[in-house]
Amino acid sequence: MKYIIIGNNKEGIFEKSTQKLFQALDIPLEREILIAPDHMQEGLFLPLYATEWWVSSWVNFFQNIQSQQLTPLFIEEGSYISGLLALKTLKEEDAFATYRKQIKDIEILGTHTSLSAFLTQNQQIQAKLKRNWQGFKIAICNSAFSRLRQTIEGDFFQKLQHKLTENLGVSILNKNNHHESITHITHFNPDVALKENARIYYEMVDLGIDFILTFSANTFSFFEKHNNRIKKTAQRDTINVPFLHLSEMFLLLLGEKTFTHKIPLGMI
């Protein structure tokens, strides 16, 4: 089985880290990174108000992948949730029956096509890890649409969180306190986005964590880009707890170096 990365920035840390990780693990990976267009990434405006065009875009996207006999691997939450919702719409809405027939395998997004599921469920990968994250404390920062993912995936989403803790040995300190960034409102209300994200960041930091794990590319980019403004908005002296992507957590366990962050990784 050969995988193709679905991302949103060919030069992004999420994408480069995943390529490097798969190379280190010797897992077959298509060299090309498939970039999900903006209208197929995070958000609900198009699914609600341009549903047919949005669904047909996803059908064409999946047809292209299937024609190359590749398995999609979504490395960030925004496009993965959009894809899940598109397939749910195709399966449940009779109005899209014609589109449904155009996809060879309607279950193309199985239980292994998000990066979190692929890495945490693969026993061969676990066996290659040289150490674990025991003793480290983290928080998970979700996108504002992660609850939609939970609704679609049901218990499977919770099982992944448990697997993450069990396999990597890390302590998740905000399991019972769902932290969400609101980066999706940045374009039309940047001040509110900055203020609320600053509040969320330091609420997680004050738990006493070593780093923050996020599956959302938009969340990661926001905090990396606006780190100094976040510090000033919250009237804090430092901003020194970094965000990591899951691929980076695995790379570090394999003894590999990560790429440079604007919020430094420090002693991790």
Q: Tell me the C-alpha distance between 216 and 233, whole Å.
A: 22
Q: Tell me the C-alpha distance between 159 and 180, whole Å.
A: 19
Strand blocks (E) in the chain: 3-7, 34-35, 71-74, 137-142, 171-172, 179-180, 211-213, 243-244
Does one domain contain both 139 and 198? yes
pTM of the full structure: 0.92
106-149 pLDDT per residue, tens = 777 766 689 999 998 888 898 898 889 999 999 999 998 888 88
Residue 134 near residue 170, CB atoms below 8 Å: yes
Q: Tell me the C-alpha distance between 47 and 63, whole Å.
A: 19
The amino acid occupying position 174 is: N
pLDDT, residue 23, reads 94
Does one domain contain both 182 and 89? no
Does one domain contain both 91 and 176? no
Q: Tell me the C-alpha distance between 194 and 230, whole Å.
A: 7
Q: In angstroms, how far is the first alpha carbon of the chain from the final one?
A: 33
Residue 183 near residue 193, CB atoms below 8 Å: yes
pLDDT, residue 2, reads 87
pLDDT, residue 111, reads 62
pLDDT, residue 178, reads 80
Does one domain contain both 106 and 145? no
pLDDT, residue 157, reads 81
- Mean pLDDT, consecutive 10-residue stretches, the chain (268 aa), reads 89 95 93 85 86 93 90 92 92 89 77 85 87 94 89 85 86 85 90 96 96 95 95 93 96 94 87
Does one domain contain both 107 and 185? no
- Evaluate whether residue 21 is within a structural domain: yes
